[in-house]
Amino acid sequence: MQKRILGNSKLEVSAIGLGCMGMSFSYGPPKDKKEMTSLLRAAVERGVTFFDTAEVYGPFTNEELVGEALAPFRGRVVIATKFGFDLSGSDKRPGAAGLNSRPEQIKQAVEGSLKRLKVDAIDLFYQHRVDPSVPIEDVAGAVKELIRAGKVKHFGLSEAGVKTIRRAHKVQPLTALQSEYSLWTRTPEKEVIPTLEELGIGFVTYSPLGKGFLTGKIDENAKFDSSDFRSTLPRFTPEALKANQALIDLLGTIGKPKQATVAQIALAWLLARKPWIVPIPGTMKLHRLDENLGAVAVELTPDDLRDIESAAAKITVHGARYPEKLEQMTGR
């Protein structure tokens, strides 16, 4: 497995990481713990060293799963987790739970994550969403203290806007920003990616396969259980899925002569964007893990990239990526 370094931080991770959320949360009922433990360990055997979780996934159960499964590999893997949702209420879903990034809450959150992940220090600690009621300088200052105390190694933000990124970075240098980025979510290209490049911050891209759409396995006839959060997303209505099929056709055209799948081309495109971009596709299946990791070996030529860019420019993606309440939590 190839390695990449996140920005100027010297934090080295596998070129493709593993998003672990769906194993416990959001994509239907929680998956079998034994099966997911086997999958996590299989990822390590295949060279994956970068794993992503959060306290709100479950809540808490995803961190427990990751911590237990990866316990035999301490020192060989990098585990990223997140703080920032208020989990004191009865409804702990990210869309329902309020935000809480007060310094005292961050210090409380880190203790819980350390315990569940069975580690002495959090490798990469993200603010999950920007909390408008807490100055980002206070958030960065709290994480700076945790780094000094040896409880956190690296600081990150998720779905933050460029002004927030700059303000936080002045207080405590950011190792990574995590935001959604793929061929059907290209918003970061306008301001965020140039800012990250300027400041030397890595970019960890979640949902690099469009929450499953860019695998080519989802069409307008797809049915989503009420426990699958895609059932609430405007981009996953039958009308939007049908309209967005043009993207799948494009990726299939590029992949066919390379004997590469739609998903592999989507991931290879991301890897070709910048050497400090690291996608973290999630999966609950071993054959999908192998398919995703195979993207590292897919080489897109300058001509391929131009062809993708030219064709993608003519495709309008239909549907918002989140309902309005969740969309408001991004880009702050």
114 touches 146 (CB < 8 A): no
Q: Considering the domain boundaries, does residue 11 fall inside one?
A: yes
Q: Which segments of the chain have a pLDDT < 50?
A: none
What is the rounded CA–CA span in Å between residue 182 and residue 159?
Answer: 14
Helices H / strands E in the chain, number of each? 12, 10
pTM (2 d.p.): 0.96
What is the rounded CA–CA span in Å between residue 313 and residue 38?
Answer: 41
Q: Considering the domain boundaries, does residue 329 fall inside one?
A: no
Instruction: Name the residue range of residue 38's domain.
Output: 3-209+274-298
* Position 67, amino acid: G
Two structure tokens written together for 28: 């239907």
For 206-232, b where at least 16 C-beta lie within 10 A, e where not — what string? Answer: bbbbbbbbbbbebeeeeebeeebbbee
**Catalytic residue set:** 57
Q: Considering the domain boundaries, does residue 114 fall inside one?
A: yes
What single string gives the DSSP state of each residue in 145-170?
HHHHTTSBS-EEEES--HHHHHHHHH
In the prediction, which pLDDT does 97 show?
72
Q: Considering the domain boundaries, does residue 214 fall inside one?
A: no
β-pairing verdict for 277-279 and 124-127: unpaired
In the prediction, which pLDDT does 288 show?
98
pLDDT of 42-68, one tens digit each? 999 999 999 999 999 999 999 999 999
3-state SS record for 251-293: HHHHHHHHCCCHHHHHHHHHHHHCCCEEECCECCCHHHHHHHH
In the prediction, which pLDDT does 89 show?
73
What is the rounded CA–CA span in Å between residue 145 and residue 252?
Answer: 48
What is the rounded CA–CA span in Å between residue 277 and residue 255?
Answer: 21
Two structure tokens written together for 196: 């990250």
Q: Considering the domain boundaries, does residue 247 fall inside one?
A: no
Q: How many domains does the chain have?
A: 1
What is the rounded CA–CA span in Å between residue 305 and residue 61?
Answer: 40
Q: Considering the domain boundaries, does residue 256 fall inside one?
A: no
* Position 100, amino acid: N
Phi, psi dihedrals of residue 40, rounded to the nearest 5°: -60, -40
Q: Considering the domain boundaries, does residue 261 fall inside one?
A: no
Q: In this structure, what CATH number is given to the domain that contains residue 27?
A: 3.20.20.100
Q: Considering the domain boundaries, does residue 324 fall inside one?
A: no
